[in-house]
Structure 1
Amino acid sequence: MKHCIIGDVHGCYDELMQLIDMAQVDLSHEQLWFTGDLIGRGKQPLETLRFIQHLGHRAQVVLGNHDLHFLAVANGIAPVKARDHLEALLKAPDREELFEWLWQQPLLAQLDTDTVMVHAGITPQWSQTEAILRAQEISNIFADRQNRHELLAQMYGDTPNRWDETLSGMDRYRFIINSFTRMRCCYADLSLDFQYKEAPEQAPDGLKPWFELRKDRDNIIFGHWAALMGAAPHANIYALDTGCIWGNQLSLLRWETKELCQTSCPAYRRSN
């Protein structure tokens, strides 16, 4: 089975269908991998989730910050934001099935022994093996109906912003979630920053992209940072959020050949 990696869709269903058609994806031989933020701000979240869920084993997803926010909204923890266009999804007759499917998605997916996919990144304090273990901690809680609601309620916040193996409880889980779904830059002491969103070359002194501070050379595929526009200066780092929701492009990378396919999203340039 070959792999097609697709950047942050954000509920841009029509553009997703256009990209799959343009790239001539063969779902009998190619599996679609999604870097998270399947929904959020795009106007077709229901169609997007239904399509990806119905792919079954032909799709692999990791959760992004917008996906987690949606679960928080659906559980009455966070308010609905009009710009997220979630109304149809929240009222859908199959919403409970879609909610449960999202709960089952991980924060990290392993494509091969040297390659993982996450939404935002991996803190430089973790090896790939440690990252896999930390992501599994959260998946174990999400699988537990009694505990996952409390985790969603406690996940919001910027602290702690530096990993310590002695972290426990909600502080530990919040850091893990933030590392995988929210960070873009780190300070010299490897603590995480959650505010800066622009291009790396414009970052304030003392901030560097998380991937600049990693010492390993494992392949990491990620989305989240639209300002990168797919430009990551390392051969083992693959940035696939190219800002569809901001009127730029939706990207698909054929992993085995490194062929990049993109479709433009002009409608969103006018509406965001």
Structure 2
Amino acid sequence: MATYVIGDLQGCYTPLQRLLQRIDYNPQQDMLWFCGDLVARGPESLACLQFVKSLGDRAITVLGNHDLHLIACYYGISSAKPQDNLQTLFASPQLDELIHWLRQQPLLHTSEDMRYIMVHAGLAPDWSVPQAMQMTAEVQQQLRTDPLPLLHIMYGNTPERFTDALSVQQRWRYTINSCTRMRFCRPDGALELKEKGHPRNQTVLVPWFEFWRNRLQAELFFGHWAALNGYSPVANIHALDTGCVWGNALTAYCIETQQRYSVAGLTR
């Protein structure tokens, strides 16, 4: 049995199937972990959701910012843009079922032995791992049982520090921003949510994972940050978004062998 952690699909079902052939995936024995953003931008969001859902307990996915945005659009709280490429998904008779399934997925996944953690974007420097688990569990429960109050307050860049999250709603937003949107922080650990580029172009902002260097006892897997092209300088923190939807590659990491596999991404 092998466990493969796969970077952002973003509607790229055909490259996913090539990647599964590349790793000689055995659906009866192997586990697939998905780093979130199953949908949006690519042409096959419907197929991606259908496939991952069909795997049942042989797959684990965490929610990304595009997945949450899809849920908000479904409930009429936001609107999909043409470049989101979600028309086929919204026209599907399976839409209700797929959205319900997506709402059940976590923001953060930890293995039973706490050796491995998966999140879409990252973990806020202000948190410990137990705090991250507590806060994501709170958001997950709300999304599963009564999503509208959460979705209505989801969008926005504040609060920037966990200590400034004084209300339940502010804690929800801070948690969502950390787990699904964050790339950089200010030197004091405050979230900075606008910059999307490569760390080499920064002189002030600090990649979130640098705050976890020598702090994290587990191995952590994340996606979201295509500009990194799968590179993280922190040994036990693994970047897996290699820009499939932008024509670069789709990547899987085998936990047991510590080997990476990649196939060509979407042809644009």
- For the pair 1:13 / 2:13, whether they are aligned, the reply is yes
Q: Which moved more, 1:242-251 or 1:76-85?
A: 76-85
Shift of 1:45: 0.5
| SS of residue in 1 equivalent to 2:162 | coil
Aligned to 1:211: 209
Shift of 1:234: 1.4
Shift of 1:211: 0.7
Moved over 4 A (4+): none
Aligned to 1:89: 89
Aligned to 1:119: 120
**One-letter amino acid of the structure 2 residue matched with residue 246 of structure 1:** W
Aligned to 2:104: 104
| SS of residue in 1 equivalent to 2:17 | helix
- For the pair 1:25 / 2:22, whether they are aligned, the reply is no
Shift of 1:165: 7.5
Q: Are 2:35 and 2:120, in contact at CA under 8 Å, matched by a contact in 1?
A: yes
Aligned to 2:129: 128
User: Structure 1, residues 12-63: CA drift from partner, whole Å, max 9, x if none?
Assistant: 0000011101110112111100000000100011111000000000100000
Aligned to 2:263: 263
Aligned to 1:200: 199
Shift of 1:169: 2.0
Shift of 1:266: 4.8
User: Structure 1, residues 112-132: CA drift from partner, whole Å, max 9, x if none?
Assistant: 412210000001111111111
**One-letter amino acid of the structure 1 residue matched with residue 151 of structure 2:** L
Aligned to 2:180: 181
Q: State the alpha-carbon separation in 1 of the partners of residues 70 and 129 from structure 2.
A: 28
**One-letter amino acid of the structure 1 residue matched with residue 192 of structure 2:** D
Q: Which moved more, 1:82-91 or 1:3-12?
A: 82-91
Shift of 1:2: 2.9
Q: Which moved more, 1:100-109 or 1:123-132?
A: 123-132
Q: Are 2:38 and 2:48, in contact at CA under 8 Å, matched by a contact in 1?
A: yes
User: Structure 1, residues 164-193: CA drift from partner, whole Å, max 9, x if none?
Assistant: 176222111100100000000111111001
How many corresponding residue pairs? 265
Shift of 1:138: 0.5
| SS of residue in 1 equivalent to 2:197 | coil
Compute the TM-score of the two structures, normalised by the length of structure 2: 0.96
| SS of residue in 2 equivalent to 1:213 | helix
Shift in CA distance, 90/189, structure 1 to aligned 2, threshold 3 Å: same
Q: State the alpha-carbon separation in 2 of the partners of residues 69 and 53 from structure 1.
A: 18
Shift of 1:219: 1.5
| SS of residue in 1 equivalent to 2:43 | coil
Shift in CA distance, 166/18, structure 1 to aligned 2, threshold 3 Å: closer
Q: State the alpha-carbon separation in 1 of the partners of residues 234 and 161 from structure 2.
A: 24
> Which runs of 5 or more residues in structure 1 are unaligned?
none
Compute the TM-score of the two structures, normalised by the length of structure 1: 0.94
RMSD: 1.2
**One-letter amino acid of the structure 2 residue matched with residue 159 of structure 1:** T
Aligned to 2:143: 142
Shift in CA distance, 166/78, structure 1 to aligned 2, threshold 3 Å: closer
Aligned-residue sequence identity (percent) comes to: 43
Q: State the alpha-carbon separation in 2 of the partners of residues 38 and 134 from structure 1.
A: 23
Shift of 1:206: 2.1
User: Structure 1, residues 233-257: CA drift from partner, whole Å, max 9, x if none?
Assistant: 1111000000001110000111111
> Which runs of 5 or more residues in structure 2 are unaligned?
none
Aligned to 1:222: 222
**One-letter amino acid of the structure 2 residue matched with residue 188 of structure 1:** P
User: Structure 1, residues 75-118: CA drift from partner, whole Å, max 9, x if none?
Assistant: 11111211111111111111111010000000000124122100
Aligned to 1:154: 153
